[in-house]
Structure 1
Amino acid sequence: MANSPVWTSNIIGCIDACENNTGCVDISFVATSPLGACYMKSTLNAASYNANVWGARRTSTCPDLNGTTYTGTCGSQYTIQCFLDHDGGDIGEPIQTESFDACIEACDATDGCVDVSWAPELPAGFCYMKSEVGVAINSTVFGALRVSGC
């Protein structure tokens, strides 16, 4: 991202910087003294282990991420569609997931799933997996349209 890295005293400062930067979806923080390097990311990629780096994904998704690409853990790609549901095509009953990301990952694990609509609720939201992309309607859900599979 254009404003990256920024220098913060801890990972909390890095998370705050991401939260205040439209388009930031993920951070990597490298702790050094007195300030650490905070790398803000505009796309989600598969995680990799590095003992010297702390990471965090932004959980507030919409409306900041509308139109961006989400990359699943298997390499699949989805276009985020904030406040948009595709009518019909539901695969069975909705499942409850703790996050929008978890709903997308459930789609990856479900044969025939090409789209999701996630209705945020506490403690878990309702994830509607879709077998087809119907007419787009305005809604209070977060949507993700599969662009490529695993």
Structure 2
Amino acid sequence: MRLLLAGALILAFTGAAFAEPDQPIERMATDKAQNFELGSIDWQDEALLPKGAKSALLIGDPSKPGVFMAYLKFPPNYEIPAHTHPFTEVVTVLKGTVWNGHGEKLDRDKGDELDVGASFTLPAEHPHYLWNEDETVVLLTATGPWNIKYTNPDDDPRKDK
């Protein structure tokens, strides 16, 4: 819990100087008190990630400076190729198991297995990748403007748009 709180505080004071709005994470109403249950989330396709990822914004606006939180859902046998982000992220596993790896290329022999309740931090501009075997849901806490830069530009799902 201390790690998550520390990460959130770091994110809250991070300045925003990088902006490439690409219509990330579908926005939910955040101007009122709300409860969120995984079983009743209105998931949207996530255009910044490879096909199959879904997202739901809980609070904040990833296209603007400031902290935001979003659920991300990945189908079974899903991979996010090596990439970086402009600011630090904190990821918490809510359902399933993910493997978090570090480096310029996805390597399933070099990741850390993380189960429900586990969190990890990713420094700004740190190349990393993720994969799973079964459906997975994570909570992403990050600073906007959020973006993703794939190590290999051919991995970017936006290249075809």
Question: What TM-score, normalized to structure 2?
Answer: 0.28
Structure with max Cα Rg: 1
Question: What TM-score, normalized to structure 1?
Answer: 0.29
Higher RCO, Cα 8 Å, sep 6+: 2
